[in-house]
Structure 1
Amino acid sequence: MANQFAIDVTRIREQARKHMTEGPVTKTYDADRARIVEVLNDVVATEVVCFLRYSQNAIAATGIDRAQVAAEFREHAGEEMQHALRAAERISQLGDQPDFDPGSLVTRSHTEYVTAEERDLQKMLRENLVAERIVITTYQEIIRWIGDGDPTTRRLMESILEEEEEHADDLNDLLAG
């Protein structure tokens, strides 16, 4: 049995006590923490911009399908804000501060803050679908980049990605309807 698994629990306990003020990040953390925080702050910015766009669209929506589309926009807005807060919490766990600076949100965001002229529901749906596709692509790239270096952040991004894919599917259904 060449490659048997073994753990030196005594050494691990000693290291845990010695470095307990470092919080959840241990010596086995294998990622560039500063770069992970920077990327997560961009995720925070992206999610806040998406929250703002969906919220504005939900209020501005008019027309025969307004109630259904506005309800979907409000639901997505709430989920986007939860994504931002989850990413911000991870930044805090990594020993840093999340960046919610309104002055830099748009420049750090992967998506744009686009509002539809004349309250055009179809344009709102299309612009939000484009934004979701941008987020899906960039989050997939982030997940691949993180790899095994930070499994907790990777899982966080994977769970957010799953919800973003659901948003894109919802928007695509509304556009087809």
Structure 2
Amino acid sequence: MDDIQPTPRSGIDKLAIRVAAAHLQDGPVTAGYQGDRAAVVALLNDALATELVCVARYRRHYYTVTGRQNAAIKAEFLAHALQEQEHADWLAERIIQLNGEPDFNPATLLARSHAEYDESVDVQAMVRADLIAERVAIESYRQMIERLGTADPTTTHLLIKIMAVEEEHADDMRDLLD
């Protein structure tokens, strides 16, 4: 590695890059990572709890909605449940990348979740509860993105990606309101 010199043309210090990459136990997070890993993992675990509560809420709504006239709403609930599960999976994967532990503890999910669980039996009450939860998720992700700033671009990108889907979900729920 001693023969590697900074490339004046690009301004990239190849030696520094390769030295930083030598810490294999850190996985994908290099020495240049600017975030507070413990704080980011805590944020992500709260987001994970929120997504898992949303999965449970949407699944409950899917299974309890009845009637042919509600078939489109039922399908929307299932589609959203599957997307929320995908978000939870992405968050858990990012937590692992940051050398953290994803917290799936069911005993603490509701306390850590930003959104609430809902046991409505009326279809429009379900839609309203889901719209509120989506708006809560959107604001939660917006605040997390703002808090991270430029310290962790990968996590910020992930949160923006999830937030965009949550905005679509809110739009879908608003369209289902009577």
Secondary structure, counterpart of 2:21 in structure 1:
helix
Please give the TM-score of this superposition, normalised by the length of structure 1.
Answer: 0.92
Percentage identity across paired residues of the two chains? 47
The C-alpha deviation readout for 1:116-170, integer Å capped at 9, x for no partner, is 1xx2111000010000001101110000111100000000000000000000001
Matches within 5 A, 1:140-159: 140-159=142-161
Query: In terms of mean alpha carbon deviation, does 84-93 or 167-176 score higher?
Result: 167-176
- CA positional deviation for 1:111: 0.5
Distance 1:115 1:166 in 2: 23
Runs of 4+ in 1 over 4 A off after TM superposition: none
Distance 1:5 1:135 in 2: 41
Give the aligned partner of residue 127 of structure 1. 129
Matches within 5 A, 1:10-89: 10-17=15-22, 19-89=23-93
User: Structure 2: which amino acid aligns with 1:7?
Assistant: I
Distance 2:116 2:92 in 1: 20
Distance 1:123 1:62 in 2: 14
- CA positional deviation for 1:64: 5.0
Distance 1:78 1:136 in 2: 18
Aligned 8 A contact 1:63 1:121 in 2: no
The C-alpha deviation readout for 1:61-101, integer Å capped at 9, x for no partner, is 12453211110000000000110110000000001110000
Please give the TM-score of this superposition, normalised by the length of structure 2.
Answer: 0.92
Distance 1:124 1:148 in 2: 37
Give the aligned partner of residue 164 of structure 1. 166
Counterpart check, 1:111 vs 2:115:
yes
Secondary structure, counterpart of 1:126 in structure 2:
helix
Distance 1:34 1:67 in 2: 44
Secondary structure, counterpart of 1:27 in structure 2:
coil
- CA positional deviation for 1:12: 1.3
Instruction: Choose which of 11, 15, 20 in structure 2 pairs with 1:6.
Output: 11
Distance 1:86 1:57 in 2: 23
Aligned 8 A contact 1:62 1:120 in 2: no
Aligned 8 A contact 1:50 1:80 in 2: yes
Distance 2:19 2:32 in 1: 14
Distance 1:41 1:101 in 2: 10
- CA positional deviation for 1:109: 0.2
Unaligned runs of 5+ in 2: 1-8
